[in-house]
Structure 1
Amino acid sequence: MSKSLYRPETTILLKLLKEYRTEAGLTQADFAKALDRPQSFVSDIERGSRRLDLVQLRDICEVLGLSLIDFVTRYEQLVAESRQQ
């Protein structure tokens, strides 16, 4: 398997995170403040230069007002769709 950073699934994850953030009406700065992190943390995540662990992803989902299960379900749907193309 190739490194996860360079896999299409990573691109899907990053786009989905940014999509949910913008749909929530949050700037990177607002989002970072809600996470009690610097704005660069959010920027690094969205650019793919910072990886997330499960606990961080759960915190992100909480700030965005969705469950981790809903996030992962949507992610898996998008991955499946991308493989059908």
Structure 2
Amino acid sequence: MALCKALVDARDRAGLSQEDVAARLKCHQSLVARIESGQRRIDVVEVIVLARAIGFDTTEILAIVEAATELDHRI
């Protein structure tokens, strides 16, 4: 959920709506909503693509997720 929150926060800081991000990604707004709500998991490539669309630094988002992930988190 840390990734979802970080994505929403980054989008909000950029002043973008879900519709804006969807337009940049050439996808439906509902896909952005599912990603942000955690209903759809994303891989690292998709994180990079989202970062580019929103305009945030991927190392920053990964640091947020790393800090929120317990050392013994199971896959």
8 Å CA contact retained: 2:3, 2:65? yes
Give unpaired runs (5+ residues) of structure 2.
none
Count, aligned residues: 71
CA distance in 1, matches of 2:4, 2:63: 15
**Structure 2 counterpart of 1:36:** 26
Partner of 1:24: 14
After superposing on structure 2, the runs of 4+ consecutive aligned residues of structure 1 that deviate more than 3 Å are none
Cα distance, 1:75 vs. partner? 2.6
Query: 18-27 or 63-72, which moves further after superposition?
Result: 63-72
**Structure 1: any 5+ residue segments left out of the alignment?**
1-10
Tell me the distance in 2 between the aligned counterparts of 1:70 and 1:46. Answer: 17
Identity of aligned residues (%): 32
Map Cα deviations across residues 22-74 of structure 1 (whole Å, 9 max, x no partner). Answer: 11101010111111111011011111111101111100011122232222123
RMSD: 1.9
Per the alignment, residue 62 of structure 1 pairs with 52
| Pairing 1:74–2:32 present | no
Larger Rg: 1
2:51–2:57 Cα contact (<8 Å) kept: yes
2: CA distance, partners of 1:33 / 1:50: 18
